[in-house]
Amino acid sequence: MTVSYPLTMPTSPAPRSTRFALRNVVGMAQSPFTLSTQVQAFQGQQWQVEVALPRMSRAQAATWQAFILKCRGKYGTFYMGDWDAETPRGVATGTGTANSAGSPSVNLAGDRIFYTTGWTGITVNILLEGDYIQIGSGSAQTLHMVVNDASSDSNGDLTLDIEPALRTDITTGTTVITASTKGRFRLAANDIGWDSDYAIRYGFSFAAIEAQ
């Protein structure tokens, strides 16, 4: 059976701890005399995740062992999201899609304002700051976080402030997912393994970075 990427990550057991971070590429120069600074934000942004799984039986471990080996180090990609934020805090009513028909052009790569439509009209707090969204599906899907509360207008339009910025130009009608959101990731190291103890309980921990 041929392995195809992105892989679907095992769902059980869930991690005992995770650490999500967004890496930003920002340059800063500081005067040695006045200590005044010049700061430049560059385009690069990348999700980074550290995962620690609970101790598990050999049968449970076998699924994770197979998953890790199929990744082949940094080569293979897989879908992953934040296990502790699978449902939004906002009401998220309606069926959100990208609304890229604005003039001048909107929803372009690098934008941090994302225009959407299809939500329930005149609804407060469709999405709240800290909610994740997934833009698109399959091998092109990306993971973002809403950083300001957002309410819909009478047309069901919703403007979202997001991080990280859009990875690519988003076409009108692209699906916006608000529950069990996932992006594409790859292992951060080529050497990855596991340990086991005298009770034949296995342990795994690994780091992953967003695949771009």
Q: What is the pLDDT of residue 137?
A: 94
Chain center to CA of 40: 24
| Domain assignment of residue 120, given as a range | 85-181
Tokens representing 105 are 């052009």
Q: Which residue has the tokens 């992105």?
A: 6
Residue 58 inside a domain? The answer is yes
Residue 23 pLDDT level (bands cut at 50, 70, 90) = very high
**Angle subtended at Cα 120 by Cα 150 and Cα 103, rounded to the nearest 5 degrees:** 65
- pTM score, whole prediction: 0.93
Residues 177 and 190 occupy one common structural domain: no
Residue 99 inside a domain? The answer is yes
Cβ atoms 69, 29 nearer than 8 A:
no
Which CATH number is 34's domain given? Answer: 3.30.200
Residues 173 and 140 occupy one common structural domain: yes
Q: What is the pLDDT of residue 63?
A: 95
What's the whole-number mean pLDDT along residues 156-166?
Answer: 97
Residue 199 pLDDT level (bands cut at 50, 70, 90) = confident
Q: How many domains does the chain have?
A: 2
46, β-bridge pairs = 23
Residues 12 and 66 occupy one common structural domain: yes
Handedness of CA 58, 59, 62, 63 (dihedral sign): negative
Residue 2 inside a domain? The answer is no
* Residue 104 pLDDT > 90: no
Q: How many CB atoms neighbour CB 84 within 10 A?
A: 10
